[in-house]
């Protein structure tokens, strides 16, 4: 297979002692390419629970109040 003009130019630059950008390629620098980028539904809900500490609408309760009156 033939080499592209860009690759020939990179190889020529490397032979002349200049910088070759191919050295930095294919390195994930500690990142896992298969890692999840978005949180799961459960992680999202837990984050909201921590973020909105005083927001009781996220609880499992329906928020209703029960008042009992005693008649005499």
Q: Is the pLDDT of residue 9 over 60?
A: yes
Predicted local confidence at residue 21, as pLDDT: 84
pLDDT of residue 56: 54
Give the pLDDT confidence of 38-54 residue by residue, as tens digits: 888 998 888 888 876 66
pLDDT, residue 18, reads 92
Task: Kindly report whether the global pTM for this prediction surpasses the value 0.75.
Answer: no
For 69, half-sphere exposure in the C-beta direction (CA atoms, 13 angstrom radius) is: 2
Task: Give the contacts of 63 (CB within 8 A, at least 6 positions apart).
Answer: 56, 57
């Amino acid at each position: 297979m033939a080499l592209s003009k860009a690759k020939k130019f990179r190889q020529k630059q490397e032979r002349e002692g200049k910088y070759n950008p191919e050295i930095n390629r294919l390195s994930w620098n500690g990142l896992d390419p298969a890692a999840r980028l978005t949180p799961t539904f459960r992680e999202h809900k837990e984050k909201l629970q921590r973020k909105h500490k005083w927001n009781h609408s996220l609880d499992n309760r329906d928020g209703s109040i029960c008042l009992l009156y005693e008649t005499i």
